Amino acid sequence: MTTPSFRQAVPSDTDRCLEIETSAYEGDEAATREKIAARIDQYPQGFLVMELDGEVIGFVNSGCAFEVLMSDEAFKELVGHDPEAPNVVIMSVVIDPAHQGKGYSSLMMRTFVSRMSGMGKKTLHLMCKERHVALYKHLGYRYVKPSSSDHGGMSWHEMIMAI
């Protein structure tokens, strides 16, 4: 496996991230350009991009909260986000479909955990579809409960990891 590199997102990554988000997420699960731009603008420290040979091939983005409410739609545009808060809410975890299944998401998520831990964060929260529950358990997350969100017309599950 060629070794990818990692860095914080910058505004000029918006269109490439949108392209990956749109090609990897189904239907209206994908975040809009406005949401991606807001996440880069407001919390670049929590927006990690992975590059391979100079091309962005995946990313993870997030916001922080004192009280996590996973079904809060406004939070997806970082309304209510507080960079000082200890709990990280992950919004997108995505790898370009051309590079999926090669272990890159494990590497990206481990890199993200280590960066968040280094920033003093205490917990990571995410929502995933049924088919990714086992993957996140494998990465160290614990199952919390089915989510009340029907984002994108699908059912979701809440997962958490203490770091």
Ligand X SMILES: CC(C)(COP(=O)(O)OP(=O)(O)OC[C@H]1O[C@@H](n2cnc3c(N)ncnc32)[C@H](O)[C@@H]1OP(=O)(O)O)[C@@H](O)C(=O)NCCC(=O)NCCS
Residue ranges that bind ligand X, judged by CB under 6 A: 24-25, 93-95, 100-106, 126, 128, 132, 134-135, 138
Q: Based on CB atoms, which residue is closest to ligand X, 84 or 97?
A: 97
Contacts 24+ apart (CB under 8 A), 134-138: 135/105
Q: Which two tokens stand for residue 48?
A: 């990690």
The DSSP bridge partners found for residue 56 are 51
CB of 93 to ligand X, least distance (A): 5
CB of 104 to ligand X, least distance (A): 5
The strand order across the sheet containing 5-8 reads 5-8, 48-52, 55-65, 87-95, 123-128, 157-162, 142-146
Q: Based on CB atoms, which residue is closest to ligand X, 45 or 149?
A: 149
CB of 102 to ligand X, least distance (A): 6
Q: Based on CB atoms, which residue is closest to ligand X, 88 or 95?
A: 95
